[in-house]
């Protein structure tokens, strides 16, 4: 009985802070602000409504926002990993919905290092190994800047060394 | 090949005639509290006689029906009173179709129809699936490889045009468009005299008559629209291998379209069967080809065949793939995949409606509660049936050159991908699927839809499939590692 093992290397622990910031900016922050604004409005003009609005906001906005903020980055950190094998490059990503993708080095077309504005402030980068298929791009998100350059170079060299095949 | 007879279970098909009188008898018994009335006994007596006659005829007919395939002809003897012996030279056999009514399907049988060049068709009612498949395989005649033409326009196939979702959906789209145009001009359709008259007449007269009539009108209009679209898109189409080794498709009435797909960029072929088309025994075919443009352009330009009979679709698939890719038995996916589908459909499609109706019922009265119960009673078996069908669709296989995968219920898609064309594998999972021990596998190819997903495989099967279909990609990450990782 064989089993697909997880990739060998974790991404940088700093990535958890990046994902937390991302969650605050994209989902949790707006949700909490909305809840706050609605709560204040209700307090000022319809104090009677707080009885049912309070729990409703708590359940639909506040708790999911806090849950996402605390759970997602840790969960992601446990999942995200990468490995450069002898013949293929392997990455795992996601948190609730997880994805493990493996592309052979012989199919690698380009190796890019991408840094988003938020990532830059945390000194992180994403490595994108592209293949001829858009459903075959291997992404390694959340490695430290210095590591990214080195990993990208290693993948590039390894891909050079393996005889390429057409798409 | 020696003489064969239809399957013994085919006798049971005729008994469906008895269902209606037996049901009415049962209802009578229920209504009268088990005592029955003279009329009921007459019905029962008639049923018994009909049963005896059906059985006698069935047994006799089965005994008198036999077929065999010789080296140069197919022979079929049939007929209860008038005996017919028909002999068709094998070179004249054009198609071998399978059809199955719901009753046949329940019994695991198919009606085999053998289409010939011009002498009508031969029917065997009915064989079990394996026998039917074996017969078709035995009849398959290798086509001359140098024949460049794969398929061309056949007006008989227009009958498959209405069997698409557009046939009914198109009417609603058209009505919606007319409404919006009128709205744009500031006309309120509800205020036009004739619409109001029609509406009040509709409501006033017997609904049991007007509603079926309205449905009939929608179906007729939709079918006409679908036929018009079919003709516009596919008039005089030709699919052929061109001299330069490309797959060429020419089609269209007012707008003629012409696409050439480079053989070197062909990664496979896909058969798709939307539910109504599948029920009617038809299918569509598309190539899995690269370098055709954006996703939308690729989808539009890679179609090879409009809705056509399944046998014809399979013939073209064979010519494109160079072999009988869809003839092999597919490995089914575990039963838990069916339960997952059922649960998911209940949770996301049935439950919300029931909850909404119950809430309405609590607020506004019991009428809504009754409709909630009725909806649940009707929707649950439908969901169960759809889940069962979705599960039965699931399957995968590997042959010398291709990876074959099938999935989907509203549109069932069977794809054959060249194993050498797989550029990456992706394993998808979530906590629920992991608890069920399932994984979805996506094969990435540089063609067609780019990623082809094989849903809900047993985790070990997914790893095996990935390792067998495109060796060397996942091998080094398996524990324990396999021998001869990449040679």
pLDDT per residue over B30-87, tens digit each?
777 766 677 778 878 888 888 888 888 888 888 888 898 887 788 888 887 777 888 8
The rounded distance, in Å, linking the Cα atoms of A141 and A131 is 17
Closest CA to A20 of A74, A77, A73: A73
The rounded distance, in Å, linking the Cα atoms of B360 and B349 is 18
- Tokens in use for B298? 């690729």
E strands present in B170-299: 238-241, 246-251, 257-262, 266-274, 282-289
Q: What is the pLDDT of residues A73-92, one digit of tens each?
A: 999 999 999 999 999 999 99
Closest CA to A131 of B9, B422, B409: B422
Q: Are B395 and B333 in contact (CB under 8 A)?
A: yes
Q: Are B138 and B1 in contact (CB under 8 A)?
A: yes
Task: Supply the pLDDT for residue B485.
Answer: 40
Q: Are A159 and A138 in contact (CB under 8 A)?
A: no
State how far residue B290 is from chain A, nearest Cα, in angstroms. 9
State how far residue B293 is from chain A, nearest Cα, in angstroms. 13
Cβ of A44 under 8 Å from any chain B Cβ?
Answer: no
Which residues sit opposite A160 in a β-bridge?
Answer: none
Task: Supply the pLDDT for residue B174.
Answer: 78
Helix (H, G, I), strand (E, B) or coil at B410: coil
Q: Are B288 and B259 in contact (CB under 8 A)?
A: no
- Tokens in use for B213? 């009539």
pLDDT in tens, chain B (487 residues): 688 888 888 888 888 777 777 877 777 777 777 666 777 788 788 888 888 888 888 888 888 888 988 877 888 888 877 778 888 877 777 777 777 777 888 888 888 888 776 556 788 888 888 888 888 878 776 555 567 888 999 988 999 998 877 666 777 777 788 877 777 777 676 666 666 776 676 666 666 777 788 888 888 888 888 898 899 999 989 999 887 778 889 898 888 888 888 888 899 999 999 999 999 999 999 999 988 888 888 888 899 999 999 999 999 999 898 888 888 889 999 999 999 999 999 999 999 999 999 999 888 888 888 889 999 999 999 999 999 999 999 999 999 899 999 999 999 999 999 999 999 999 999 999 999 999 999 999 999 999 999 999 999 899 999 999 998 899 999 987 555 443 3
Please name the helix (run of DSSP H) or strand (run of DSSP E) that holds residue B113, with its range, or none: strand B109-116
Helix (H, G, I), strand (E, B) or coil at B316: helix
Question: Is the Cβ pair B424, A102 closer than 8 Å?
Answer: yes
Task: Supply the pLDDT for residue B173.
Answer: 78
Cβ of A7 under 8 Å from any chain B Cβ?
Answer: yes
Q: Are B341 and B390 in contact (CB under 8 A)?
A: yes
A–B interface: beta-carbon pairs under 8 A: 115
B383: left (phi over 0), alpha (psi -120 to 50) or beta: alpha
Q: Are B233 and B251 in contact (CB under 8 A)?
A: yes
The rounded distance, in Å, linking the Cα atoms of B135 and B132 is 5
pLDDT band with cut points at 50, 70 and 90 for residue A21: very high
DSSP type of residue B111: E
Task: Supply the pLDDT for residue B439.
Answer: 95
The rounded distance, in Å, linking the Cα atoms of A18 and A124 is 8
Q: Which residue in chain A has the smallest CA separation from B487?
A: A87
Question: Is the Cβ pair B444, A99 closer than 8 Å?
Answer: no
The distance in angstroms from the start CA to the end CA of chain A is 32
Of A2, A98, A132, the CB nearest to B430: A98
Q: Which residue in chain B has the smallest CA separation from A97?
A: B430
Question: Is the Cβ pair B450, A3 closer than 8 Å?
Answer: no
Please name the helix (run of DSSP H) or strand (run of DSSP E) that holds residue B204, with its range, or none: helix B193-204
Q: Which residues of B touch A133 (CB under 8 A)?
A: 423-424, 444-447, 450-451
Residue range A47-57: mean pLDDT, rounded: 88
Question: Is the Cβ pair A102, B472 closer than 8 Å?
Answer: no
- Tokens in use for B251? 């089609």
Q: Are B422 and B473 in contact (CB under 8 A)?
A: yes
Cβ of A75 under 8 Å from any chain B Cβ?
Answer: no
Name the pTM for this structure: 0.74
Q: Which residues of B touch A2 (CB under 8 A)?
A: 460, 463-464, 467, 478-480, 482
Distance between alpha carbon B169 and the CA centroid of its chain, in Å?
A: 18
Q: Which residue in chain B has the smallest CA separation from A132?
A: B446
Task: Supply the pLDDT for residue B146.
Answer: 62
Alpha helices in A7-166 (DSSP H): 15-23, 29-45, 50-57, 63-79, 117-122, 145-161
Provide φ and ψ at A123, rounded to 5°: 70, 40
- Tokens in use for B37? 């009335």
Please name the helix (run of DSSP H) or strand (run of DSSP E) that holds residue B479, with its range, or none: strand B478-479
Task: Supply the pLDDT for residue B398.
Answer: 94
- Tokens in use for B272? 């798709």
Between the CA atoms of B6, B9, B11 and B16, what dihedral angle is there, to the nearest 10 degrees?
-130
The rounded distance, in Å, linking the Cα atoms of A10 and B114 is 61
Place of tokens 């046939």: B167
Question: Is the Cβ pair B424, A5 closer than 8 Å?
Answer: no
3-state secondary structure B222-251: HHHHHHHHHHHHHCCCEEEECCCCEEEEEE
HSE-CB for A104 with a 13 A CA cutoff: 27
Q: Are B459 and B438 in contact (CB under 8 A)?
A: yes
Question: Is the Cβ pair B479, A5 closer than 8 Å?
Answer: yes
Cβ of A133 under 8 Å from any chain B Cβ?
Answer: yes
The rounded distance, in Å, linking the Cα atoms of B55 and B268 is 48
Report CA-CA distances (Å) from A12 to A21, A112, A123, A137, B19.
Answer: 15, 18, 10, 21, 69
């Amino acid at each position: 009985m064989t089993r697909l093992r997880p990739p060998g290397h974790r991404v940088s622990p700093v990535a958890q802070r990046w994902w937390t910031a991302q969650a605050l900016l994209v989902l949790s922050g707006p949700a909490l602000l909305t809840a706050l604004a609605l709560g204040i409005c209700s307090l000022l003009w319809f104090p009677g409504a707080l009885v049912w609005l309070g729990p409703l906001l708590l359940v639909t906005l506040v708790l999911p926002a806090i849950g996402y903020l605390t759970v997602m980055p840790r969960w992601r950190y446990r999942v995200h990993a990468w490995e450069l094998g002898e013949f293929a490059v392997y990455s795992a990503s996601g948190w609730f919905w997880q994805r493990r993708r493996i592309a052979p080095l012989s199919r690698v077309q380009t190796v890019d290092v991408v840094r988003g504005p938020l990532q830059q402030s945390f000194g992180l980068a994403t490595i994108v190994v592209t293949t001829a298929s858009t459903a075959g791009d291997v992404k390694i998100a959340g490695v430290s800047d210095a590591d990214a350059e080195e990993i990208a170079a290693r993948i590039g060299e390894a891909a050079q060394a393996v005889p390429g095949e057409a798409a | 090949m020696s003489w064969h007879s239809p399957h013994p279970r085919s006798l049971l098909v005729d008994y469906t005639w008895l269902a209606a009188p037996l049901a009415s008898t049962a209802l009578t018994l229920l209504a009268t509290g088990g005592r029955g009335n003279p009329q009921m006994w007459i019905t029962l007596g008639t049923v018994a006689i009909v049963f005896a006659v059906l059985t006698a005829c069935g047994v006799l007919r089965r005994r008198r029906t036999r077929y065999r395939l010789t080296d140069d002809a197919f022979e079929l003897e049939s007929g209860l009173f008038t005996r017919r012996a028909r002999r068709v030279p094998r070179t004249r056999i054009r198609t071998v179709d399978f059809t199955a009514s719901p009753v046949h399907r329940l019994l695991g049988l198919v009606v085999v129809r053998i289409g010939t060049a011009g002498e009508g068709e031969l029917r065997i009612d009915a064989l079990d699936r394996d026998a039917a498949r074996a017969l078709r395989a035995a009849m398959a005649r290798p086509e001359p490889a140098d024949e460049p033409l794969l398929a061309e326009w056949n007006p008989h196939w227009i009958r498959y045009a209405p069997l698409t979702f557009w046939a009914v959906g198109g009417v609603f789209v058209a009505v919606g468009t007319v409404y919006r145009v009128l709205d744009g001009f500031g006309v309120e359709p509800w205020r036009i005299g004739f619409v109001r008259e029609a509406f009040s007449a509709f409501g006033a007269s017997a609904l049991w008559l007007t509603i079926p009539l309205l449905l009939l009108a929608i179906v007729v209009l939709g079918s006409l629209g679908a036929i018009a679209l079919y003709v516009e898109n596919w008039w005089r189409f030709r699919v052929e291998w061109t001299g330069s080794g490309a797959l060429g498709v020419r089609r269209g009435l007012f707008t003629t379209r012409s696409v050439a797909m480079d053989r070197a960029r062909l990664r496979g072929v896909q058969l798709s069967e939307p539910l109504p088309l599948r029920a009617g025994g038809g299918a569509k075919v598309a190539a899995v080809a690269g370098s055709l443009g954006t996703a939308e352009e690729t989808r539009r330009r890679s179609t090879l065949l409009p809705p056509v009979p399944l046998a014809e679709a399979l013939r073209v698939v064979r010519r494109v793939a160079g072999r009988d890719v869809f003839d092999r038995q597919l490995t089914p996916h575990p039963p838990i995949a069916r339960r997952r589908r059922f649960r998911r459909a209940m949770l996301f499609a049935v439950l919300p409606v029931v909850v909404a109706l119950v809430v309405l019922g609590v607020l506004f009265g019991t009428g809504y509660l009754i409709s909630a119960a009725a909806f649940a009673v009707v929707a649950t078996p439908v969901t169960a049936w759809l889940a069962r069908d979705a599960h039965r669709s699931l399957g995968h296989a590997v042959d010398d050159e291709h990876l074959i995968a099938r999935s989907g219920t509203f549109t069932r898609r069977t794809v054959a991908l060249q194993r050498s064309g797989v550029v990456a594998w992706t394993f998808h999972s979530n906590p629920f699927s992991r608890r069920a021990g399932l994984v979805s596998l996506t094969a990435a190819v540089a063609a067609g839809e780019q990623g082809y997903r094989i849903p809900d495989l047993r985790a070990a099967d997914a790893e095996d499939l990935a390792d067998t279909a495109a060796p060397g990609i996942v091998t080094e990450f398996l524990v324990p590692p396999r021998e001869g990782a990449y040679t």
